[in-house]
Structure 1
């Protein structure tokens, strides 16, 4: 057996606070570069050290997120404390044949287990799959990127399992503990995490809420902060991601009836994700992982053009308009790159290769130094890759007031003739931020319009400006505005006849 050399890890003041805090329930809001990976690795190591043969819940919002982000971060954190994969622990398999002790409650399957030689295990629990935590009696719980977690599912799938006790562990300080780390949330869904600060203030004996920015880490090169500021696409993101400053909430939103708990959903094909294993490569994360795509029905693709090119993909499924996924490229990437590098590879598994193509009317403009229009360019690229395309954008563009009235009516779901609207949360993170942050203002000639100032601000992240929301709007307006206006007219006539 390999004997590891002693390794000394110096902790920052916030990291020491996290380690030394006596509370069993710890919530850590820390900017990137603040050292979350280090304290996460320390917490895992301490759980293993304190409670041999115990089972712990390692939580992620989805199995896809666990494979792509949570697990690699956990492995990196453990390495910082001299615990190395395939030497000091194994992932996705049982270590019994290597002489590992077995846990008090061995799992039925080991594909989502981290196993340590003293018998301690971490079970990877994804909140989009209620079965991933089934049968688990955990002695503690922890999760990375906690702002992405659904609080109701977290309670049902994880917190209720954190109940195991054994006489041998009665003096362990981490028995029944919670440990969640995250950078500050930038959308409404993560508000529950920052609200834990108030819980900690009311119950300081049981809960600790610790905040720190990257400035707390003295081991970061000062040039790194300048580099991050220069490369940050906006001051908002730099403040949130690096300095841990919470963004202000938009009150007068253009999509005012958008409610995360109602309109966002998660629907991964976890059976597929389990087949690709814990060493999945980027090419495995294609539309096969999406359980919400009807593979034998056409896709709706809507494009917004310019220096920032983006595409929103949707389907009408029964009485629901589902926004499946969104893509974008920034200059110097071009429109071709958007489809060749992202859209087409992602939907290569799709069976019915038909596209209903929508876009702004500037899609009829000719490309620079080219006879083709933007729409013709997209159609040519898709056709070369085996897709049949129907161009659906015709007639005059709707007004912002029309968009505001129709989309907020659909979000409210009071008109039976209009479909419900649902957005795949994990496939549309930037679209969701753009929808939540797009403001409404009074138009000069009356009515309501989108506030577009962020599109003219070169320092603002264009994926969070209204571009993606424009691509989101176009098919909805084309397909449903006449129905909406007809419904409104029928309602008005009915009221006249009634009176």
Structure 2
């Protein structure tokens, strides 16, 4: 038996992991299975379930509010959201909870499939214990939720009458008029915090007569990998709200309950007295959990036995260093004073998905990455040409598309190919992604770096790209920008565009789902001192050990696109008072 944790300090995580492995009954209870403390019935089949250390610590604490900043691959959906929401449903029959995400597609594609897998691993059966986006058969006589939804389209129904709504911030009004009893949010770093506070959190209220006193009642769970923008730092601030002494007391009680479970096996004659002691401790555990705030951080290394060393090595080779260190290793990002784009922040990114297209798919299609062309994008003005700009190189070629919309300029999509693929492969990728775009016309912005030829080709990068698009039926408007602008001019232009409110410049916005590497490239871009002034530091472009997607290639591509947009569109667009939709 591991030593008892001392009062006022958190116990060693491995001690409690060993206890879980030694006590299957307690493990099942902590996983959320509703069993009486009198013990398991003779006909109950005990199934071994594996949970990693962060997941087990979460179950041990069971706080009313939980904020988990865990790296990718730690099992947030399957081993954190699934057990917690399972327990919420079990202890609040006919209750109404909700899953919240920045987008509805995120919930369908990335959150719910592993959560459902987690429920099924805990014994639930789809079509018997829960129904996704459909009501249970009437013949089952399942009770109605206390505050049920009007429609079934965005809900999950459970056999005990509970229901969980799927609420997304990109579908206006999806949380209006609701009363919910618990909230679980995945990918919380992408949530709009002011909108969360003013809309959804206000619905987590009422109905004390049904569930008052339960720690799960009006509980909150928000999990994410490491936030990298200033507006998402609210998640890390929750650490200051946690009381370590309360968490230590909760874990001490769990230890004592485990010890009593062992005594049930060793002293069957004292069964009733031990059961009463367990019930008393369980009540104390519940009381402490009611007002507890639990904040935890974990990296993918905490789940290395489940994730696998080879998979981790593959991820490290595939991801840019910045994403690997923050999203996988869970290291807090550094904020530099030498940033080339210091004004870039989360509010510059938006979500825009065409649900009239997405809603046509069946439930079984979600989680399989089938939405990978422009039909899912709702920010396209399909009557206008697409603006494109490229950055060229031997190791990587990058492309960005954009369009003006009133006084706003939107960067819509990133595309890239890496060696050994070449520029023609990038043109092919562009045509594949936009094959359903009705206006086959592009404004191709390029500077002097696209006009040169080489010893192995008498065609310039401009000609290679333009010729391929024209062969595929696109009209290509060549927009030559001359020599690349000085770094100081680009720095100042981005500053005005990102701060907004300048009548002579666009307000720039980025499609969040489609510009992951643009964000990294721009966040990581640094200022270096040049011979005649400052410049963008491009040293990493020469370091072949660094993933080139995270270096300045995409940021240079964004520079060209923005300069070209101002040269072509500014005079007409910035004098327009058209509404921005």
Moved over 6 A (4+): 481-484
Alignment match, 2:113: 72
> Structure 1 residue 388: deviation in Å?
0.7
Q: Give the direction of change, closer, same or farther, for the CA distance of 1:317–1:237 in structure 2 (3 Å limit).
A: closer
Alignment match, 1:339: 427
Tell me if structure 1 keeps the 8 A contact 2:300–2:307: no
Alignment match, 1:293: 380
> Structure 1 residue 450: deviation in Å?
0.8
| Structure-1-length-normalised TM-score | 0.87
SS at match of 1:132: coil
Alignment match, 1:326: 414
> Structure 1 residue 22: deviation in Å?
4.6
Matching residue within 465, 477, 489 for 2:551 = 465
Matching residue within 237, 240, 248 for 1:195 = 237
Alignment match, 2:159: 117
Q: How does 1:73-472 map to 2 (within 5 A)?
A: 73-97=114-138, 99=140, 100-200=142-242, 205-217=291-303, 219-220=305-306, 223-224=309-310, 227-228=313-314, 231=317, 233-261=319-347, 263-278=348-363, 279-280=365-366, 282-306=369-393, 307-341=395-429, 343-366=430-453, 369-413=456-500, 415-446=502-533, 448-472=534-558
Query: C-alpha offsets along residues 136-194 of structure 1, whole Å, 9 cap, x if unaligned?
Result: 21100001222222212222332111114242322322000001122212344432222
Tell me if structure 2 keeps the 8 A contact 1:305–1:360: no
Alignment match, 1:9: 49
| Structure-2-length-normalised TM-score | 0.76
List alignment gaps of at least 5 residues for structure 1: 485-499
> Structure 1 residue 75: deviation in Å?
1.7
Q: How many angstroms apart in 1 are the aligned matches of 2:502 and 2:181?
A: 48
> Structure 1 residue 66: deviation in Å?
1.6
Tell me if structure 1 keeps the 8 A contact 2:382–2:438: yes
Query: C-alpha offsets along residues 411-459 of structure 1, whole Å, 9 cap, x if unaligned?
Result: 234542222222222321221222222112222222x211112222333
List alignment gaps of at least 5 residues for structure 2: 1-42, 247-290, 571-581
Tell me if structure 1 keeps the 8 A contact 2:447–2:483: no
Tell me if structure 1 keeps the 8 A contact 2:229–2:346: no
SS at match of 1:131: coil
Matching residue within 70, 81, 90 for 1:40 = 81
Q: Give the total of aligned pairs.
A: 479
Alignment match, 1:496: none
Matching residue within 62, 68, 72 for 1:28 = 68
Tell me if structure 1 keeps the 8 A contact 2:440–2:475: yes
Q: Give the direction of change, closer, same or farther, for the CA distance of 1:203–1:65 in structure 2 (3 Å limit).
A: farther
SS at match of 2:535: strand
Q: How many angstroms apart in 2 are the aligned matches of 1:287 and 1:4?
A: 51
> Structure 1 residue 396: deviation in Å?
1.7
Q: Give the direction of change, closer, same or farther, for the CA distance of 1:452–1:295 in structure 2 (3 Å limit).
A: same
Tell me if structure 2 keeps the 8 A contact 1:298–1:352: yes
Q: How many angstroms apart in 2 are the aligned matches of 1:338 and 1:472?
A: 16
Tell me if structure 1 keeps the 8 A contact 2:447–2:560: yes
Q: CA RMSD of the aligned region, Å?
A: 2.8
Larger radius of gyration: 2
Alignment match, 1:55: 96
> Structure 1 residue 104: deviation in Å?
2.1
